[in-house]
A and B are shown apart, each in its own frame.
Chain A
Amino acid sequence: MADQSLPVGQGVEVVGTPLRGTWLEVVHEWIITVDHKKLGIMYIAYALVFLLVAGFEAMLIRIQLAIPHNTFLSPFTFNRMFTMHGTTMVFLVGMPILFGFGNYLVPLMIGARDMAFPRLNAFSFWVSAFAGLLLYYSFIGGVGLSGTGSAPDVAWFAYAPLTEKAFSPGHTTDYWAISIMASGIGSIGTAINIIATVFCMRCKGMTLGRIPLLPWLYATMSFIVLVAVSPLTACQAMLLIDRYLGGHFFDTQAGGSAILWAHFFWIFGHPEVYVLVLPAFAFANEIIPVFSRKAIFGYSAMVAASVSIAFISLGVWAHHMFTIGMTSFGNAFFTLSTMLVSIPTGIKTFNWLATIWGGKIRFETPMLFSVAFLFQWVIAGLTGIMLSVSAWNWQLHNSYFVVAHFHYVLVGAIVFMIFAALYYWYPKITGRMLDERLGKWHFWLMVIGFHITFDTMHFPGLLGMPRQIYTYEPDRGWTTLNMIISVGGFIQAIAILIFVYNMVHSYFRGEEAGPDPWDAWTLEWATSSPPPAYNFAIEPEVASRRPLWDRKHPEDPDSAFE
């Protein structure tokens, strides 16, 4: 049924070597491009650069905290470091790299030639890129309070009234607010594009019940972006109105409210973490089945669970505010809503387990990272449940237990799946395989370093260490633990350097990948590696969720079962 509709697996023959043009012409081509693949690559490259920068900031933090009363960083520099580390990782690494993958993969997976709005796509990328440059320009621009420039130093969630003019007279808050607003515009543009693409650009036969789970989760994540990023833009606009037009949104002297910022920020902030984690789930949904050699278990449940997570996540935000003085009823409500989110999340986790169960697991690097993701995700989810217990949260809030929890999610789940995704789709993007041996070194060092750092990090929190402090007292019993955490950080840094080397080296010397090195089942593997500019020579037509499985197993096609 599907034989003639899919392009032949070998892709299109390229006649001779295409002329690349001068260096300037190549750069020009990339700057003016509206091709989703090139924009995707630029998003990913941009994010990886900032990953190294923010990672460096993290190392500075860990050096300062390795011993108590350390003088490696001044309090001012330290406060800028943790603010910039968090802001960079969320807005200049997490969002761009995940949007980059979405840009690259969604059109390919649904058999389209590009995103719905290619020029909007380019605009979104360049606005986001500008935002990052503006944020980092702050280090040298503006009038800093203490000689280290104006890099933001108000924590990544920039609570008012600390950010009001009275308490932050310099420009640190302004750089934070304006660059993140710009990044938000880019995010909303990409979100609109992804939703329009998934709903309006699918190839023939690809009903919504047949799109791979990755486009489903990206559409869901984009919906969250639309609803959640705007509140952040709104409260940043309010803050700027307070700072420059004499407004009183967060001016407690005029009767304004300090708690209002917290509400508005977390109405953005909590859905934001689901924006970051849903693509990680999307990668798991694609990679785990292929390396277990089984279809994903419970496709419909996965879709329903992901959409439920999106909706429930809009109603849990005040679990970041259990100590701020809400009524006991308010605390109880948010305890319950937060706990509820664990049900669809649990469903997804068990479905992954069931996908692996009864399979024939191959442990190439993408699967190694995915298995580690599963373990770590379970732990991250459980510490999340612990934090949702509001009465216990009164002890845990703003301590290193929280820092450990969210790094478990952001690094242990999301970064690990980003690594898995990079190993899995690098061959498609570049036409070459990443080196497996280096990949395994990267993996094991990352796992060891990650666990040394972030398993240990729970304990200072349980022993009373708050977060966002540039130093701590030696008599609290946190000293050895902090040293261990810092050592683990260095191990992770080495792992990442190995990874960077692998990425660069394999680009020139990697084994040729061919169109389908993993024996996978979705449409992106039905074209050459890298794909031609138009993606598919003939627009595909599909009859099931795994069109390539149908081709490879004509005796047992999925289309007979759906």
Chain B
Amino acid sequence: MATVPMEHGNHDVTWTLPSRGTVAMACLITAESAIFTIFVVAYLYYLGRDVHGPTPKEALDVPWFYSICLISSSFFIVLAERAIEHGKMAAFRLWWAVTILLGITFLYGTGVEWRNLIVEHHLTIATNLFGTTYYSLVGLHASHVVAGLIMMLVVLAFSLMGAVHPHHAYRVKTLALYWHFVDAVWLVVFTVVYVVGRQ
């Protein structure tokens, strides 16, 4: 380190700090990523180790349509973010509602898939390693979708009551960040469960 005194620059530079909400959401996403990683590792580790029961190859159908619904909802939520940034509240409400609808459709698809697995293939969480790891991982993701949808419905309700204004754009974007994370996790889960796991 220097031991010679240095000249100092001007301190009139504006003092900017990162935004709390974004940092906090990034931290939450870090923690959630860690928990998902563990469930993904368990899923991959147990592939092929079942002693009996249905295998992924036999039981799983790839849920293309519902996955597209969920992933495209990220696009629509971006439209909603842009709308509120530009003060277009009606457009915001529209795209926000579309996002929620797509999320609900995805959940419906998960429900249909699970019903099919239980009734047709007799696969439950207690059946075998595949059942345990599959329902845990997909269920963990679905629970995060549910949590996101609840928060988004609250925002929608406030918005319909006229309580959401353009200066709330920052908070909406923080929530949208969470939603993007949930979609990104689905990309990983989809690849692991329906692509890699079905080999």
Listed in ascending order, the chain A residues whose CB lies under 8 Å from chain B are 1, 116-117, 188, 191-193, 195-196, 199-202, 204-205, 222-223, 226-231, 233-235, 237-238, 241-242, 245-249, 254-257, 260, 264, 267, 298-300, 543, 559-562
Contacts and interface: CB of A to CB of B under 8 A. Distances in A.
Interface string B109-136: 0000000000000001110110111001
Contacts of B5: 560-561
B28 A238 contact: no
B28 A192 contact: yes
Given A248-B132, A561-B2, A229 B50 contact: no
A201 B17 contact: yes
A255 B49 contact: yes
20 contacts: A1-B8, A116-B24, A199-B17, A204-B15, A226-B27, A227-B30, A230-B34, A230-B35, A231-B37, A234-B38, A237-B136, A247-B132, A255-B46, A255-B51, A255-B128, A267-B38, A559-B8, A560-B5, A560-B8, A561-B3
Contacts of A234: 34-35, 38-39
Contacts of B126: 245-248
Given A1-B11, A238-B39, A242-B132, 9 more contacts: A192-B31, A196-B20, A196-B24, A199-B17, A230-B32, A249-B136, A255-B129, A264-B38, A561-B6
Given A255-B49, A255-B51, A247 B31 contact: no
A248 B128 contact: yes
> Which of the listed residues A195, A222, A298, A543 has the most CB atoms from chain B within 10 Å of its own CB?
A195
A298 B45 CA distance: 44
Contact of B42 (A117, A238, A254): A238
Interface residues of B, number: 39
Contacts of B46: 255-257
A255 to B, nearest CB: 4
A195 B136 contact: no
B15 A205 contact: yes
A560 B7 CA distance: 7
Contacts of B125: 241, 245-247
Given A238-B136, A247-B136, A560-B5, A260 B31 contact: no
Given A255-B50, A255-B51, A561-B1, A543 B39 contact: no
Contact of B11 (A188, A191, A205): A205
Given A200-B17, A254-B51, A260 B42 contact: yes
Given A226-B34, A560-B6, A195 B51 contact: no
Contacts of B199: none
Contacts of B17: 199-202
A319 to B, nearest CB: 19
Nearest to B49: A255
A60 B82 CA distance: 64
